[in-house]
Amino acid sequence: MFDSDFGSRARSFMVRGVVVLALLAVIIKLGDMQIVNQMVYGKRSEDIVTRIMVQEPMRGKIFDRYGNVMVENDPAYSVSVVPSDFRSDEIAPLAALLKIDTTDIIRRIRIGERISPYFPVLVRPDISFRTFSSIEEHLNSFRGVYFDVEPKRVYVGKANAAHILGFTKEISEKQLETLGDYYKPGDIIGYTGLEASYETILRGEKGYRYLAVNARGQLMGEYDNGKDDVPSQEGSDLYLTVDDGLQALADSLLNGKRGAVVALDPNTGGVLAMASAPTFNPSVFSGYTTRSEWDSLVNNPDRPLFNRATMAALPAGSTFKMVLASAALQDSVINDNYTVDCTGGFLYGNRIFHCDLPQGHGIVNIIRAIQVSCNVFFYHLMLKVGFKRWTQFGRMYGFGQKTGIDLDHENPGILPSEEYFNQIFGKDKWTKGYLLSLAIGQGEVSVTPLQLACYVMSIANFGKYYQPHLVRYIYDRQTGKMYNTQYSERTIPIRKEVFDQIRHAMYLVVNGPGGTGFPARIPGIEVAGKTGTAQNPRGKDDAWFVAFAPFNHPRIALAVLVENSGYGAMHAAPIAKKLIEYYLNEDNPVPQEPSKGIVADAALR
């Protein structure tokens, strides 16, 4: 009995001893970890957290036809935060330093969290060096706040060219949902103009930096000495057909007006100038745009962001008369021996349709009718040609459809047809009286300045119609290759002798006796043109003028619109005169060819 009790007590003592020794070993190990090796293990815990910082690429530059830089980039500081590291009590002090509203930071963080709480979110682009210095001084007070240097768009050309170039702006929530995985909150994206339509070519490819961050969300430096970093790739450059000097002149001639200018190279369809007024300064959108700045442009009743050159669809007035003349001559409905006695009005039914000259133009044939812009002649002509052929010839010239220019927005306008009238008025609910207004470019027909420029280009070219375009070459900075952009062309099926007659009439508009376009005369330069004065229900008439020059070897074709100004001869033709005179007398009339040479043809857009 005694021996058995002793053995039990001995075994119990031994077990207790083993447990005590084990606990001592654990305590010693913990002590070693927490005290002796705290610096080593603490450093490891700090180093295991990484953050990915996006390196925004340099956006491609934009050059004019002579190689002059119109748009380039400048570096600018930006501030981002990582939602998972950033604390709510840091929002107010950061907003104060950045001079923005706290709700703006909260909104951006929430958008970023939906994508990834560990990915940096831009909270303020384009901060000043003073702001940068202030935040840097307080950087240890913030968790997950980072600086970066990002490119900022700078407009350095002579011309404003806002509606051609467009602008870049921070991506919207709606765009984030539709544009795929490339973009993240805070990214800058092309919003309008060439910046938008060539976004994927201009933007380049993002790079990535891996940063080491401690457990308190503070930056420790490059992760693994930057071995895993991916460098960004610069965007491609655009070389335009635009003449920066001519564009600057067009901008200035429209200053204080509402209207547009489109000038084309009739040998290629390249846009030499495209101006819209009122305009805006695209630099407003470079960097940080305040809500008040954005609202002042969007809510402006003059709509400065609206590109009238491609979007303003208005009655063309008498500039449209060559459509009807083309149909009549091509179909041999008349010849130049056919005449009408204009007494100042045309009675149709119980209504008199007036000519713009109350006493009338007397006996006129088709050449003289275009020259002096006789409405009565074209009232007669419309009834002889008919609605269907008028519509068909209007379509040949590109009306009622988009031109396909390489910009982001374009209005196709309206080219009425029998089907269109049946739809809006009802079948058999309209009469031929409706057609008389169409004959002189009034009524339901509407065109854009770009469409009219293409129309006069094709007349200058004896029917050759080139797709209008702004980009001539694309230079890929990654490959060092220059690409020639490709555009369509077609021939309007009208006989050369018809174009001979119409062109001769347009020459007399400017240079002949009684021609309505005499304000566009230029000594030493033969200009052909056509005036137009279109009724506008919102005020005074709209002034139009279309022209090409020189007459025998055209180098420029253009359309000018000045809204609510009055007669086309008085308000639009003088603008065209100055543009033609400048362009044809310019010191540098030969576009600069790429020094690297064209290595490929490609439709990169």
367-378 average pLDDT score: 97
Reported as half-sphere exposure (CB side, CA atoms, 13 A), residue 467 has a value of 14
Alpha helices in 426-549 (DSSP H): 433-439, 449-460, 496-511
Q: What pLDDT was estimated at residue 16? A: 52
Confidence of residue 600 (pLDDT cuts 50, 70, 90): low
What SS3 state is found at 51? Answer: strand
Query: Is the predicted pLDDT of residue 22 greater than 80, yes or no?
Result: no
Q: Is the pLDDT of residue 53 over 50?
A: yes
| Residues in Cβ contact with 474 at an 8 Å cutoff, skipping those fewer than 6 apart | 201, 236, 237, 238, 239, 482, 483, 485, 602, 604
Give the pLDDT mean for 23-46: 46
Q: How far is CA 465 from CA 416, 456, 457, 459, 492, in A?
A: 22, 10, 7, 9, 7
**pLDDT of the residue at 100:** 81
* % pLDDT > 90, the chain: 59
Q: What is the pLDDT of residues 551-563, one digit of tens each?
A: 999 999 999 999 9
* CB atoms near residue 288 (< 10 Å): 17
Distance CA 392, CA 397 (A): 9
User: Rounded distance, CA 88 to CA 91, Å?
Assistant: 6
Domain spanning 53-82+90-240 has what CATH number? Answer: 3.90.1310.10
Per-residue pLDDT tens over the stretch 188-244: 899 999 999 999 999 999 888 777 766 655 556 666 666 778 888 999 999 999 999
CB atoms within 10 A of CB 543: 28
Residue 229 contacts residue 462 (beta carbons within 8 Å): no
pLDDT above 80: residue 253: yes
595 token code pair: 């020094």
DSSP letter at 223 equals G
* Mean pLDDT, the chain, whole residue set: 86
Give me the phi and psi of 419, to 5 degrees please.
Answer: -65, -40
Question: Where are the domains positioned within the chain?
Answer: 53-82+90-240, 245-291+313-584
Residues 6 or more apart from 571 whose CB is under 8 A from it?
Answer: 543, 562, 565
Residue 271 per-residue DSSP state: E
pLDDT category at 37 given cuts 50, 70, 90 is very low
* Distance separating alpha carbons of residues 360 and 523, to the nearest angstrom: 30
| 254 or 186, greater pLDDT | 254
Q: Is the pLDDT of residue 9 over 60?
A: no
* Tens-digit pLDDT profile for residues 254-269: 999 999 999 999 999 9
Q: Is the pLDDT of residue 3 over 50?
A: no
pLDDT tens per residue, range 446-485 = 999 999 999 999 999 999 999 999 999 999 998 999 999 9
Which one has a higher pLDDT value, 571 or 539? 571
Check residue 107 and give its pLDDT.
Answer: 84
Q: How confident is the model at residue 126 (pLDDT cuts 50, 70, 90)?
A: confident
Nearest to 67 by CA among 221, 235, 238: 238
Q: What is the residue-wise DSSP string for 67-96?
A: S-EEEEEEEEEEEEE-TTT--GGGHHHHHH
Domain covering 245-291+313-584 in this structure, CATH number: 3.40.710.10
Burial class (CB in 10 A: 0-12, 13-18, 19+), 224: exposed
| Phi, psi dihedral angles at 535 (to 5 degrees) | -65, 140
